[in-house]
Structure 1
Amino acid sequence: MRRPDNRLWLLAAAAGGVAYPFLVYFGRTYSGTSFLQPPLLIVIALVLIGLRLLAMRGPDGRPWLIGLAVAAMVLVMLLAWNVGLAVLAYPVVISLTVAAIFGASLLWPPTIVERFARMREPELTPAAIAYLRGVTQVWLLFLLANAAVAAALGLWGSLHLWTLWTGLVSYLLMGALFLGELAWRHLVRARA
């Protein structure tokens, strides 16, 4: 039997990641919804981590596998300590996990962004590698800021604002950062 393409697992994890904050909001806002209680939400978060693990199989996926396994352990430990906090921690844990992977790749090159770039262009100039290192640093800062905002909203903000940030605003900002960098890269290449 043919194994599914890793992109399908990643797409499922991404769709679930976008839906998760809204499931939390619905489950907490409408307390009569017994099927969306905190333990089930944690199970959903762990399944999403599992989907990401499936998506990251292969030789280049090892840093992701380790990071996501640690993320799952953190969520389970939080669940034992404080169920309500554990439910809100999923976006924070994922952002910090990805930030740690990006940060580690800065210490032990090639960077994550360079690895992605080499999938399309195996031969990169030293200038391109330096540029991709800078892009990795920008993503690292974004991921840390995203985790900080999600954590602050989870601890001290309203559920409505937490849901808005983790389910919409952060994804719009990620898309803007991605598209902005893409446009900038094409502009720089056109000038070269």
Structure 2
Amino acid sequence: MHPVMILLGVLAPLAFMACVALGLPLWWAGAALLPLALIRRDTRALARWIGPPAALLGLLTLLTRAEWPLRVYPVLNNTAWLALFAWSLHHPPTLIERIARLSEPDLSPAGVAYTRRVTQAWCGFFVVNGLIALATGLWADSRTWALYNGGIAYALMGAMFGGEWLVRRRVRAREAMRHG
């Protein structure tokens, strides 16, 4: 992943939460989206696709001093990730299989099937998370929006990663017992 995307992934939620905690206008957090304007054309497709619109949302937030452009960002982000994961389902290998093959190049057919199911689960996650981001963006107050999109959503993502890691260990152990 591009370093600017990683930086944004850390800064944007912290900026949302810091504005709420410090009693600052939420539109100040729009500055956290501006580094995305630095993404070069030679980066991965997701970064190229999400970078310029996200930077534009940050600029609009700062220029208009309105929250609505900032509130669009989590919806854009979830939509981009959903598109990437869903695209990989229709153009194998899936994104999760590609990641798995970095450490296990000779992935078994059972492993390929498992990675496909994990990719589908992530698609479901991004649909639900994106809908919640949209709902909080449209109807929640600033504090609730920032709490969900700047904290809870990332905690849920971490729980999904952790849960998948635990399931993967059980699946691998079961497969090893069958073949060992």
Q: Give the shorter-chain TM-score range.
A: 0.7 to 0.9
Q: Which amino acid aligns with 1:104?
A: W
What is the CA–CA distance in structure 2 between the aligned matches of 1:76 and 1:15, rounded to whole Å? 15
1:30-109, aligned counterparts within 5 Å? 30-31=24-25, 38=27, 41-47=29-35, 49-50=36-37, 53=39, 62-69=44-51, 71-72=53-54, 75=57, 83-109=66-92
Partner of 1:12: 7
Measured after TM superposition, the shift of residue 109 of structure 1 is: 1.4
Which of residues 20, 45, 69 is equivalent to 1:25? 20
Are 2:141 and 1:158 aligned?
yes
Are 2:128 and 1:125 aligned?
no
Change (3 A) 1:132 1:152: same
Are 2:152 and 1:169 aligned?
yes
Unpaired segments ≥5 residues, structure 2: 176-180
Change (3 A) 1:150 1:136: same
Change (3 A) 1:95 1:74: farther
Q: Which moved more, 1:147-156 or 1:65-74?
A: 65-74
Measured after TM superposition, the shift of residue 65 of structure 1 is: 3.2
Q: Which moved more, 1:61-70 or 1:98-107?
A: 61-70
For the residue of structure 2 that corresponds to 1:19, the secondary structure is helix
TM-score, structure 1 normalization: 0.75
What is the CA–CA distance in structure 2 between the aligned matches of 1:74 and 1:138, rounded to whole Å? 30
Change (3 A) 1:133 1:186: same
What is the CA–CA distance in structure 1 between the aligned matches of 2:54 and 2:90, rounded to whole Å? 24
Change (3 A) 1:17 1:84: closer
Unpaired segments ≥5 residues, structure 1: 1-5, 32-36
Partner of 2:178: none
Measured after TM superposition, the shift of residue 83 of structure 1 is: 4.0
What is the CA–CA distance in structure 1 between the aligned matches of 2:13 and 2:101, rounded to whole Å? 28
Partner of 1:34: none
The answer to whether the 8 A contact 2:5-2:47 is kept is no
What is the CA–CA distance in structure 2 between the aligned matches of 1:85 and 1:121, rounded to whole Å? 44
Identity within the alignment, %: 32
Aligned length: 174
The answer to whether the 8 A contact 1:71-1:94 is kept is no
What is the CA–CA distance in structure 2 between the aligned matches of 1:74 and 1:9, rounded to whole Å? 15
Change (3 A) 1:99 1:46: farther
Which of residues 119, 123, 138 is equivalent to 1:136? 119
What is the CA–CA distance in structure 2 between the aligned matches of 1:50 and 1:127, rounded to whole Å? 41
For the residue of structure 2 that corresponds to 1:148, the secondary structure is helix
What is the CA–CA distance in structure 1 between the aligned matches of 2:65 and 2:143, rounded to whole Å? 20
